[in-house]
Chains A and B, each alone.
Chain A
Amino acid sequence: DAEITQSPRHKITETGRQVTLACHQTWNHNNMFWYRQDLGHGLRLIHYSYGVQDTNKGEVSDGYSVSRSNTEDLPLTLESAASSQTSVYFCASSEAPADTQYFGPGTRLTVL
């Protein structure tokens, strides 16, 4: 069955380190999204992509980057992790931009 996976599921890192969170989907969806979930804020869009080589900034993109080299993967990189980036990160994909988004299981990141 097609699905969307994220790895790792839990990560603890130190301030200043570079961290990459993986997102992989097997639906062949062109559209992929990264969100962070924080208490009191709901989910906020970090970056999104409409296809290979396409990436766009979302509402809270500072300190994050993405690259899209193939359809299946959209890794999220924290260039220099900060404590404010402690959060739960969700990846999602959709067949068309405004279609239903299918979410991954999430990655809980702690920055000490």
Chain B
Amino acid sequence: AQRVTQPEKLLSVFKGAPVELKCNYSYSGSPELFWYVQYSRQRLQLLLRHISRESIKGFTADLNKGETSFHLKKPFAQEEDSAMYYCALTPSGNTGKLIFGQGTTLQVKP
């Protein structure tokens, strides 16, 4: 079965500390992986996708097919990074059907 698991409901760090939001997936093919973010009172929006290999707002994510993981990392957290983060995958086949993880709330304390 296709599944995305985010093991942490809440991750709390201090400003300037490194951040790693974990994401593991279960899929037998070659999925496309995404991180979406929802800031307070804002819409869900794409943060990054693995095929673009970009760094957005200082965040990066590497797809590890051996460990079936797509962890989101940032070396120095900022207070404005506080938000709900969702990892998602879309199966191969260009369907666009997103399968989301449960979400992790990142709280960056001053």
Binding site for B on A (CB under 8 A): 31, 33, 35, 40-45, 48, 58-59, 90, 92, 94, 96-106
Contact A33 B98 (CB under 8 A): yes
- Nearest CB in chain A: distance from B71 CB, A: 17
- Nearest CB in chain B: distance from A4 CB, A: 9
Q: A33 vs B103: C-alpha distance in the bound complex, in angstroms?
A: 19
Q: A44 vs B102: C-alpha distance in the bound complex, in angstroms?
A: 10
> Among residues 83 to 104 in chain B, which have CB atoms less than 8 Å away from a CB atom of chain A?
86, 88, 90, 94-103
Binding site for A on B (CB under 8 A): 4, 6, 32, 43-46, 49, 86, 88, 90, 94-103
A98 surroundings in chain B (CB, below 8 A): 32, 90, 94-96
Contact A58 B97 (CB under 8 A): yes
17 inter-chain pairs at a CB distance below 8 angstroms, sorted by A residue, are A35-B100, A42-B4, A42-B100, A42-B101, A42-B103, A43-B86, A43-B88, A43-B100, A48-B96, A90-B44, A94-B96, A96-B94, A97-B94, A103-B43, A104-B43, A105-B43, A106-B43
Contact B95 A103 (CB under 8 A): no
